[in-house]
Amino acid sequence: MTLKFFIDSTLYSYAQIYFSNRKWFGLLTLAATFIVPFNGIITLFAVIFSNLFALLLQYDKTKITLGFYGFNGLLIGAAFSFFYVPNPSFYLFLFIFLIIAFFITTAIENYFAVGFNLPGLSLPFVLSIFLFFIFNQNLNFLTVKSNLLLPDSGPMQLPYSVFLFFKSLGLLLLQQDVLSGVVIFITILIFSRIMAVLSIFGFAFSYFIMSLFPEQLQTNLTFTASFNSIITAIALGGSLIIPSNKSLFSVFVGTIFIVVFTIIFYNVLSPVALPVLVLPFNFTVLLLIYSLKFRAKFADLILLYFKPGAPEENFYYHQNRVSRFERYKFLNIDLPFHGEWKVSQGIDGKHTHKEDWKYAFDFIVTDEKGNSAKGSGKSLKDHYCYGLPVLAPLKGKVIKIIDNVKDNPIGEVNLEQNWGNTVIIDHGVNLFTSISHLKKDSIPVKKGDEVERGDVIGLCGNSGRSPEPHIHLQFQLNNKVGAKTHKFPFGHFLKRIDDRYTLHSAEFPNENNLIQNLEVNSILKDAFDFKLGDKLKFRYVKKGKEIVEEWEVKVDLTNTIYIESSNNATASFYNDGEVFYFTSYVGENEGVLYHFYLSAAQVPFCFKENLTWQDSFPLFLLSNIPLRVLSDFLILFHNPFYAKGEFSILEEKDDHLSSFIIGNTITLYGKGIFNFINSRRNYKLKVSNGKIKSVHLFEEGKEKFFAELINGEK
> How confident is residue 152, by pLDDT bands cut at 50, 70 and 90?
very low
The single-letter code of the amino acid at 712 is G
Cα separation, 318 vs 325, whole angstroms: 10
> How confident is residue 510, by pLDDT bands cut at 50, 70 and 90?
very high
Answer whether residue 529 shows pLDDT above 70: yes
End-to-end Cα, the chain, rounded Å: 33
Q: Is the same domain home to 159 and 196?
A: no
Q: Is the same domain home to 47 and 140?
A: yes
The DSSP code sequence of 233-281 is: HHIIIIISB---TTHHHHHHHHHHHHHHHHHHHHHHHGGGT---TTHHH
The DSSP code sequence of 382-428 is: GBTTTT-EEE-SSSEEEEEEE--PPBPPTT---STTTT-EEEEEE-S
pLDDT (0 to 100) of residue 294: 85
Q: Is the same domain home to 292 and 360?
A: no
Q: Is the same domain home to 443 and 540?
A: no
Helix spans in 172-214 (H): 178-191, 193-210
Q: 221 lies in a domain? A: yes
> How confident is residue 296, by pLDDT bands cut at 50, 70 and 90?
confident
Spatial CA neighbour of 571 closest among 599, 594, 537, 542: 594
Q: 567 lies in a domain? A: yes
Average pLDDT over residues 26-36: 94
Average pLDDT over residues 640-669: 88
Residue 248 CA: distances (Å) to CA of 235, 268, 278: 12, 30, 21
Report strand pairing: 641-654 vs 611-616. antiparallel
pLDDT (0 to 100) of residue 325: 78
pLDDT (0 to 100) of residue 153: 43
Q: Per-residue pLDDT tens for 226-239?
A: 999 999 999 998 88
The single-letter code of the amino acid at 512 is N
Using a 10 angstrom Cβ sphere, with 0-12 exposed, 13-18 middle and 19 or more buried, the burial of residue 236 is buried
Q: Is the same domain home to 635 and 709?
A: yes
Q: Is the same domain home to 482 and 552?
A: no
Structural domain that includes position 462: 341-488
Q: 325 lies in a domain? A: no
Q: Is the same domain home to 93 and 4?
A: yes
Q: Is the same domain home to 398 and 445?
A: yes
The DSSP code sequence of 465-507 is: S-SS--EEEEEESSS-TTPPB----EEEEEEEETTEEEEEEEE
Q: What percent of the chain has pLDDT over 70?
A: 96
Q: 225 lies in a domain? A: yes
> How confident is residue 658, by pLDDT bands cut at 50, 70 and 90?
confident
CATH number of the structural domain spanning residue 127: 1.10.3430.10
Answer whether residue 150 shows pLDDT above 60: no
pLDDT (0 to 100) of residue 151: 46
Answer whether residue 606 shows pLDDT above 80: yes
pLDDT (0 to 100) of residue 159: 86
Residue 704 CA: distances (Å) to CA of 92, 172, 542, 543, 546: 60, 45, 10, 11, 15
Using a 10 angstrom Cβ sphere, with 0-12 exposed, 13-18 middle and 19 or more buried, the burial of residue 628 is middle
The whole-chain average pLDDT of the chain stands at: 91
Average pLDDT over residues 531-539: 94
Residue 53 CA: distances (Å) to CA of 56, 98, 103, 131, 208: 5, 9, 10, 20, 44
Q: Per-residue pLDDT tens for 105-149?
A: 999 887 776 665 667 789 999 999 999 999 998 888 888 887 665
Using a 10 angstrom Cβ sphere, with 0-12 exposed, 13-18 middle and 19 or more buried, the burial of residue 85 is exposed
Cα separation, 282 vs 228, whole angstroms: 9
pLDDT (0 to 100) of residue 319: 82
Q: 74 lies in a domain? A: yes
Q: Which of these ranges, 8-12, 128-132, 247-251, 624-628, has the smallest mean pLDDT?
A: 624-628
Q: 421 lies in a domain? A: yes
Cα separation, 579 vs 284, whole angstroms: 44
Cα separation, 18 vs 190, whole angstroms: 13
Residue 463 CA: distances (Å) to CA of 297, 298, 379, 434, 469: 42, 44, 14, 14, 8
Q: Is the same domain home to 256 and 158?
A: no
Average pLDDT over residues 280-303: 86
Cα separation, 583 vs 313, whole angstroms: 14
Cα separation, 166 vs 182, whole angstroms: 6
Answer whether residue 265 shows pLDDT above 60: yes
Q: Per-residue pLDDT tens for 351-394?
A: 889 999 999 999 999 999 999 999 889 999 999 999 999 999 99
pLDDT (0 to 100) of residue 712: 62
Q: 348 lies in a domain? A: yes
Query: Is the distance from CB of 681 to CB of 700 less than 8 angstroms?
Result: no
pLDDT (0 to 100) of residue 114: 63
Q: Which DSSP helix (H) or strand (E) runs through 687?
A: strand 678-688
Residue 56 CA: distances (Å) to CA of 50, 52, 53, 59, 675: 10, 6, 5, 8, 57
pLDDT (0 to 100) of residue 401: 97
Q: Is the same domain home to 114 and 227?
A: no
pLDDT (0 to 100) of residue 516: 97
Q: 533 lies in a domain? A: yes
Quick one: DSSP state of residue 81?
A: H
pLDDT (0 to 100) of residue 433: 97
Q: Per-residue pLDDT tens for 59-72?
A: 988 889 988 899 99
Answer whether residue 634 shows pLDDT above 60: yes
Report strand pairing: 570-575 vs 561-565. antiparallel
CATH number of the structural domain spanning residue 368: 2.70.70.10
> How confident is residue 652, by pLDDT bands cut at 50, 70 and 90?
confident
Answer whether residue 460 shows pLDDT above 80: yes
Q: Is the same domain home to 14 and 108?
A: yes
pLDDT (0 to 100) of residue 656: 64
The DSSP code sequence of 357-373 is: G-SEEEEE---TTS-SB
Answer whether residue 676 shows pLDDT above 80: yes
Q: Is the same domain home to 141 and 56?
A: yes
Count the domains in the chain: 4
Cα separation, 564 vs 534, whole angstroms: 11
